[in-house]
């Protein structure tokens, strides 16, 4: 089984690995292919390394992840309370070894847990590209009943219309894969360069490392280049090798030129880090910097923005949505120009009142990164959001957890296509972001206020100034200029 668009699909393995991408849309199929291909490549890499043991902490981290997946998967359509009651009953019977007429000895209990959860655990491990030893797999099977029953409890409440419990918890640790040490060869690999850059940036009392999503991207892109050249020694890279790789990506028919350019940019960046770390590493020139990136047709702002008619349809549909994410994230994006992941990470304590006006603070915290320095900002709550009831929604929530489901972008994209019928391929975040900036321009909002509210980086020292409380009343006045969409 492989996860495709949030659902596990059966796989046929022969000379090729075949799995249905479950879409006829070419653009969507390409996106899903990249996600599935990355999982398959990770799994092959795991097979080459051989089965790896899991620590107890990793076992419980994976159990917590499976719980979170089940909560998020049914957030929009949780089904019926009766269904989840049966799920909890079956889980409890498996855990107690009473799902059959046999005497519930330890062996019977293990067999019952394997029958109930074994296939699910194997599919989840495969979906993460993890190749673990049998002892570790059985350990995960043995502990997963409780977290999955807790997920069923939360989903049953949602099925009854109670969305007060989002499932956020600090009980389970974050899963950190074990790095399999490679044989020392004296060679410089991309991995070691990235690790060293992360270490250097985290030094000092105010050290702040590279955004975790960026690090993940750099690792994924440089891994692809290493696999293409079949050589982990980054010190021997030549411009010709990079050029051949870029052309292979372009002619492979899987990636757009913009994505190919992103791959090349990642390799250029990491090689430059290596040159900064060691003067003997490509001392003359960065070999990837001598390769020209592919030509990209830039989409106009109008092509990337929602039309006013589309925006109204989305907001009206959001009013009817059952889940908090679908209900409020489109409205927050519409009246702030924020990226979906930025507002999806908001907590109750991020909202504050000063001078009679409400604001929300987009900021990093443990487990949440922002794109860059300018992404941290305090955004005035638009009067339309107040009238819509956002503050009452926030007030009803508990402190200490996120207001919304983590990583809701795919669910929102599906909802936009299937429910709202927005089918022309406008990315949700960019659709609101570009429209909001156009509304700001039409309203006469100052460029400085617009750039700050939307978190746009100018690349100058100005990005570090003008962020004190003194600017908040002026920001609120500028936000009030933006017209209501409904």
- Cα separation, 395 vs 393, whole angstroms: 6
Q: Which whole number is the average pLDDT over 129-149?
A: 90
For residues 1-18, give the mean pLDDT: 67
Check: CB of residue 89 under 8 Å from CB of residue 148: no
pLDDT(185) > 80: no
Residue 411: enclosing H or E segment and its boundaries?
helix 409-418
Q: What is the mean pLDDT of residues 186-200?
A: 85
Can you tell me the distance from the alpha carbon of 90 to that of 148, in angstroms, rounded to the nearest whole number? 11
Q: Residue 179 — pLDDT band, cuts 50, 70, 90?
A: low
Fold of 302-481: hpI Integrase; Chain A (1.10.443)
pLDDT score at 128: 79
Better-predicted residue by pLDDT, 245 or 8: 245
Q: Highest mean pLDDT range out of 172-181, 247-256, 456-465?
A: 247-256
Q: What pLDDT score was predicted for residue 168?
A: 86
Per-residue model confidence (pLDDT) at position 411: 86
| Domain ranges (residues) in the chain | 50-160, 190-277, 302-481
Backbone angles phi, psi at 456, to 5 degrees: -80, 130
Spatial separation of the C-alpha atoms in residues 99 and 109, rounded to whole Å: 9
**How sure is the predictor about 371, in pLDDT bands with cuts at 50, 70 and 90?**
low
Long-range contact pairs involving 356-364 (C-beta distance under 8 Å, separation at least 24): 357/381, 357/472, 357/473, 357/476, 358/386, 358/391, 359/472, 359/475, 359/476, 362/338, 362/455
Q: What is the mean pLDDT of residues 102-113?
A: 83
Q: Is 122 exposed, middle or buried (0-12, 13-18, 19+ CB in 10 A)?
A: middle
pLDDT of residue 41: 62
Residue 80 has pLDDT above 90, yes or no: yes
- Give the pLDDT confidence of 297-330 residue by residue, as tens digits: 665 555 678 999 999 999 999 999 999 999 999 9
The whole-number pLDDT of residue 224 equals 94
pLDDT of residue 288 exceeding 80, the answer is yes
Q: Residue 203 has what pLDDT?
A: 85
Q: pLDDT, tens digit, for every residue of 199-219? A: 888 887 766 666 777 888 999
Pair 60, 172: CB distance under 8 Å:
yes
Residues 6+ apart with CB under 8 A from 164: 157, 396
More confident position, 389 or 455:
389
In terms of C-beta density within 10 A (0-12 exposed, 13-18 middle, 19 or more buried), how is residue 18 classed? exposed
Tell me the pLDDT of the chain averaged across its residues: 85
Residues 318 and 330: beta-carbon distance below 8 Å: yes
How high is the pLDDT of residue 47? 63
The stretch 95-110 carries a mean pLDDT of: 78
Q: Which residue has the higher pLDDT, 19 or 180?
A: 19
Predicted confidence at residue 293, as pLDDT, reads: 87
Q: How high is the pLDDT of residue 184?
A: 36
Greatest mean pLDDT range, 10-24, 103-117, 362-376:
103-117
Interval 30-64: pLDDT, tens: 777 777 766 666 666 566 567 889 999 999 999 99
The confidence band for 460, taking pLDDT boundaries of 50, 70 and 90, is low
pTM (predicted TM-score) = 0.51
Q: 190-277: which CATH topology?
A: DNA polymerase; domain 1 (1.10.150)
Q: What is the DSSP string of 160-191?
A: TT--------SSSPPP-PPPPPPPP-S---HH
Higher pLDDT, 338 or 37: 338
Least confidently predicted of 80-89, 197-206, 334-343: 197-206
- Classified as helix, coil or strand, 345 is coil
SS3 breakdown of the chain: % helix, strand, coil, rounded to 5?
55, 5, 35
Which pLDDT value is given to residue 358? 96
Quick one: which of 242, 257, 247 has its CA closest to 291? 242
CA 141 from centre of chain: 26
Instruction: Please write the tens of the pLDDT for every residue from 239-251.
Output: 889 999 999 999 8
Higher pLDDT, 292 or 318: 318
**Per-residue model confidence (pLDDT) at position 334:** 94
pLDDT at 182 over 50: no
Model confidence over 14-37: pLDDT tens digits?
656 787 888 887 777 777 777 776
pLDDT at 159: 92
Choose between 265 and 5: higher pLDDT: 265
- Per-residue model confidence (pLDDT) at position 425: 74
CB 472 within 8 A of CB 378: yes
Asked if residue 295 lies in contact with residue 257, where contact means CB atoms within 8 angstroms, the answer is yes
Calpha distance 36→7 (Å, rounded): 11
Distance CA 319, CA 327 (A): 6
Contact 454, 435 (CB under 8 A): no
Percentage with pLDDT > 90 across the chain: 47
Same fold, 190-277 and 302-481: no
Tell me the average pLDDT across 206-235: 86
């Amino acid at each position: 089984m492989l996860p495709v668009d949030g659902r596990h699909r059966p796989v046929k393995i022969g000379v090729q690995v075949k799995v249905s991408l479950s879409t006829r849309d070419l653009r969507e199929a390409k996106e899903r292919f990249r996600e599935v291909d990355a999982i398959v490549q990770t799994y092959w890499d795991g097979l080459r390394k051989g089965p790896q043991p899991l620590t107890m902490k990793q076992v419980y981290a994976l159990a917590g992840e499976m719980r979170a997946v089940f909560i998020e998967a049914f957030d929009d359509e949780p089904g019926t309370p009766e269904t989840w009651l049966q799920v909890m009953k079956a889980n409890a019977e498996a855990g107690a070894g009473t799902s059959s007429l046999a005497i519930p000895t330890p062996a019977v209990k293990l067999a019952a847990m394997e029958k109930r959860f074994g296939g699910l655990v194997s599919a989840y491990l495969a979906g993460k590209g993890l190749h673990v030893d049998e002892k570790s797999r059985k350990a995960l099977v043995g502990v997963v009943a409780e977290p999955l029953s807790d997920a069923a409890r939360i989903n049953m409440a949602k099925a009854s219309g109670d969305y007060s419990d989002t499932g956020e918890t600090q009980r389970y640790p974050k899963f950190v894969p074990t790095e399999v040490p490679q044989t020392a060869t004296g060679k410089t690999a991309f991995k070691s360069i990235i690790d060293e850059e992360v270490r250097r940036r985290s030094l000092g009392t105010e050290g702040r490392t590279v955004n975790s999503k960026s690090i993940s991207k750099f690792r994924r892109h440089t891994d692809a280049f290493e696999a293409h050249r079949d050589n982990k020694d980054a010190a021997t890279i030549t411009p010709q090798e990079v050029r051949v790789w870029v052309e292979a990506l372009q002619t492979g028919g899987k990636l757009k030129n913009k994505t190919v350019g992103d791959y090349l940019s990642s390799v250029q960046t990491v090689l430059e880090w290596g040159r900064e770390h060691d003067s003997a590493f490509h001392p003359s020139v960065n070999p990837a910097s001598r390769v020209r990136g592919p030509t990209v047709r830039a989409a106009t702002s109008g092509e990337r923005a929602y039309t006013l008619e589309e925006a109204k349809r989305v907001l009206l549909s959001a009013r009817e949505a059952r889940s908090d994410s679908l209900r409020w994230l489109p409205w927050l994006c519409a009246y702030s120009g924020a990226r979906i992941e930025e507002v999806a990470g908001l907590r109750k304590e991020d909202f504050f009142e000063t001078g009679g006006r409400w604001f929300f603070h987009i900021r990093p915290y443990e487990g949440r990164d922002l794109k860059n320095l300018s992404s941290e900002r305090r955004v005035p709550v638009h009067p339309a959001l107040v009238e819509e009831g956002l503050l009452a929604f926030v007030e009803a929530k508990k402190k200490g957890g996120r207001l919304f489901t983590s990583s809701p972008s795919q669910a929102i994209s599906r909802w936009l296509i299937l429910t709202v019928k927005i089918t022309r391929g406008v990315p949700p975040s960019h659709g609101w972001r570009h429209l909001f900036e156009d509304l700001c321009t039409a309203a006469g909002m100052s460029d400085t206020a617009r750039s700050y509210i939307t978190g746009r980086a100018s690349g100058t020292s100005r990005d570090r100034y003008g962020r004190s409380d003194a600017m908040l009343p002026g920001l609120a006045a500028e936000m009030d200029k933006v017209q209501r969409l409904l």
